[in-house]
Structures are given as C-alpha cells and as structure tokens.
Amino acid sequence: MLYLDDIAVGMKRSFGGYAVTREEVLAFAEKYDPQPFHLSDEAAAQTHFGRLAASGWHTCAMTMAMFVEHMKAHPQASLGAAGVDELRWLKPVYPGDVLRCESEVLEVRPSQSRPEMGSVRNSMTTFNQHDEPVLRFTALALMRRRPAD
C-alpha cells in the first residue's frame, strides 16, 4: 500500500494502454457530448479535426479508466480527489489511437489540520501511440498518512 509518506516530489509513473474504438467514441458522444464532429464522419471532415474525433471529456474518462487500473495493480491509500486544474486538450484523439499515461508528483503536503492525511499534486499527461501528448492536467489527490504502529 502506498501512503502519502511514501511519495516524493519528482516521482514518475507510466501506465496504461487504452485502444480507442469507433463504437466507444460514438456511444460516449451520443450520451454525453453530442456535437456533430463526435458523431459523424461527414461533419467532422468539415472541421479542423478532419475526421471523427473523441470528445475531450471522453479522453478524460479514458485517462481515468487507465489510472484506476493502475491503482488496482499498485494500491494506494487514496481518499479521493479534491480537483483538477489546468486541463488542456492538446491534440485530437481518434478511433484507432492507443493511449497511455505518465504522471509526475509536483507537490506533497501533509495536512495541518488533519494529521492522518495530506495532499499530492500530480501532473498527468496522456499520450497517443506516436508519443504525442493529447491531454494534460494537474490533479490534487487526498491520501492517508502511514498509520503509526
């Protein structure tokens, strides 16, 4: 189990491997982001995307799915997240892309008022199969401190 006390500024993790399918792009867009360039090849061809593109929110969801799988394999004393800053969609994500993630710890801060916990600020970047960054954000996670024996 990874606790706040085990984390240091500069720590990096690489994880994931998510194949983006046309069916998933369409299903997500139909339900959550029904803009024409996420739903139609013809409409997308008339935009800067040039072809059907995944919703940025879908890219966030795929990133979260990869992160959760990573946490299952590497348990953490997570208490959830306090938020996301500086979210940027850097390049379109297309059906057929394969995504992966890298995170880097920017700050570790024990809580002043709750000694049993603290926060970790991470930079998260999602890349496509060409190692091009497609998404970047800064996340603030809450974590337990290591229990006293």
User: pLDDT (tens digit, 9 = 90+) per residue, 105-147?
Assistant: 999 999 999 999 999 999 999 999 999 999 999 999 999 999 8
Question: How do strand 12-19 and strand 98-110 relate by DSSP bridges?
Answer: antiparallel
Question: pTM of this prediction?
Answer: 0.95
The whole-number pLDDT of residue 148 equals 81
Confidence of residue 6 (pLDDT cuts 50, 70, 90): very high
The whole-number pLDDT of residue 149 equals 72
Instruction: State pLDDT tens for residues 116-126.
Output: 999 999 999 99
Starting at the earlier edge strand, list the strands of the sheet with 133-144.
12-19, 98-110, 117-127, 133-144, 78-89
Instruction: State pLDDT tens for residues 36-68.
Output: 999 999 999 999 999 999 999 999 999 999 999
Q: Does residue 20 surpass a pLDDT of 80?
A: yes
Q: Distance between CA 62 and CA 65 in Å, rounded?
A: 5
Do 104 and 11 contact (CB within 8 A), yes or no? yes
